[in-house]
Amino acid sequence: MDLAVERQGEALMQDLLTALKAAAEPTRLRLLALCAHADLTVSDLTRILGQSQPRISRHLKLLSEAGLLDRMREGNWVYYRLARRGVGAELGRTLVDALPQDDAQINLDLERLDAIKRARAAKAEAYFRRNAAKWDEIRSLYVAEEKVEQVLMGLLSGSRVGDLLDVGTGTGRILELLAPQAEHAIGLDMSREMLAVARANLDKAGLRNCELRQGDMYQLPLPPRSVDAVTFHQVLHFGETPAAAIAEAARVLRPGGRLLVADFAAHAVEDLRDTHAHRWLGFRDGDVRDWFLAAGLEPGEPVTLPGDPLTVVVWPAEQPATIN
């Protein structure tokens, strides 16, 4: 046997043993079960399990180091969820699936988790009610959102997406729409308030293949060539340098991956700058095409949806199968 292959096998065996040791404790099994159902903070888990924060934190540290949980920072908060990749991820899913459905303690934990989800939903709804007027005002100026969503779904139809990234996810609506076509979907947003709204919406929809992260569209927290599709839905007109955001999206797209940008065509509604903080009054087809080409992408045919006074355009592009 090749020495390198042998050493790789030994390393995998050691990772598996580490993960098994980390999971072999009742509280940690309960934590795995909970984190398989939602993104949860130490505070959430302390409330559910009724144990001290230092103790929960120690358990989470062991599970994370063993590769059983993913740890995601969001501002001053850290969220935990069942790991997605690696030996620990496979073992974690196997252990959670093997837990008895009628276990009284696990069921009580899940009931308490439901209460936390309901509290999240109430908080998110209150935030959205306070801010809904501004979205409703803008939506009244252009084509029905359902038509835009149909175009996005159509452009991604025909094949299942492996990993999807929605940049500027807001309420998580695009994740709700497109996640059923993906194996895994990530929603990224700078606003913790909007992430709270999105998290509540995804909980309600039961979309367990989705995760949310706080992050910057100019510095995506993902490695190169790691996703199959990226969407920007009514996001780029807020950005200072849209071309840089598109270049960053191209960086994380795999060969053959697709980029979809839905935004306003160039317009003259100046009030949107002051009232709704729009940096750009829409975009011209030629400019978006130039940004795609500069990022090494192959532009597709734009889909135009006329509105009054705002027209929405969906600009598609693709990462070449062979990247120079």
- Could you tell me the residue ranges of all domains in the chain? 3-114, 141-318
CB 203 within 8 A of CB 117: yes
Q: Is the pLDDT of residue 1 over 60?
A: no
Q: What is the DSSP-derived secondary structure letter of residue 181?
A: G
Q: Are 167 and 217 in contact (CB under 8 A)?
A: yes
In angstroms, the CA 157 to CA 187 distance is 19
Average pLDDT of 223-250? 94
Q: In CATH terms, are 3-114 and 141-318 the same topology? A: no
Element (H or E) spanning 77, and its range? strand 77-82
pLDDT tens digit string along 77-134? Answer: 888 999 987 888 888 999 999 999 899 999 999 999 999 888 877 876 775 577 766 7
User: Average pLDDT for residues 28-40, to the nearest whole number?
Assistant: 92
What local confidence, expressed as pLDDT, does residue 84 receive? 82
User: Cα–Cα distance between 282 and 264 in angstroms, integer?
Assistant: 5
Q: How far is CA 261 from CA 70, 73, 211, 318, in A?
A: 29, 27, 21, 12
| Residue among 178, 36, 15 nearest 93 (CA) | 36
pLDDT at 247: 97
CA trace torsion 123, 127, 130, 133 (10° rounding): -130
Does residue 83 or residue 299 have the better pLDDT? 299
- Residue with token string 């909007």: 194
In single-letter form, the type of residue at position 66 comes to: A
**pLDDT averaged over the chain?**
89
CATH class of 141-318: alpha beta
Separation CA 202–CA 209 (nearest Å):
10
Q: Is the domain 3-114 a CATH 3.30.1490.480 member?
A: no
> How long, in residues, is the chain?
324
pLDDT at position 321: 87
User: Given pLDDT bands bounded at 50, 70 and 90, which one contains residue 185?
Assistant: very high
* 68: its two tokens: 């059983």
Predicted local confidence at residue 278, as pLDDT: 85
Q: Which pLDDT does position 261 carry in this prediction?
A: 98
Q: What percent of the chain has pLDDT over 70?
A: 94
Whole-number pLDDT of residue 323? 62
244-257: per-residue pLDDT in tens? 999 999 999 999 99
- Does the bond joining 224 to the residue before it have cis omega, within 30 degrees of 0? no
- Spatial neighbors of 171 by CB under 8 A, at least 6 apart, are 128, 194, 197, 198, 201
Question: What is residue 132's predicted lDDT score, i.e. its pLDDT?
Answer: 62
Better-predicted residue by pLDDT, 194 or 132: 194
pLDDT for the residue numbered 322: 78
Higher pLDDT, 82 or 324: 82
Q: What is the pLDDT of residue 9?
A: 62
Mean pLDDT of the 170-194 span:
92
In tens, the pLDDT along 267-287 reads 989 888 888 888 889 999 999
C-alpha 225/C-alpha 250 separation (Å) is 8
Residue 12 is predicted with a pLDDT of 75
Mean pLDDT of 165-192: 93
- pLDDT reading at 136 higher than 70: no
126/145: higher pLDDT: 145
Portion of the chain with pLDDT greater than 90, in percent? 59
Question: Is residue 168 a contact partner of residue 186, using CB atoms and an 8 Å limit?
Answer: no
Tell me, what's the pLDDT at 16?
84
- For residue 316, how many other CB atoms are within 10 A of its CB? 21
Closest CA to 126 of 75, 177, 200: 200
In this prediction, residue 232 carries a pLDDT of 97
Confidence of residue 169 (pLDDT cuts 50, 70, 90): very high
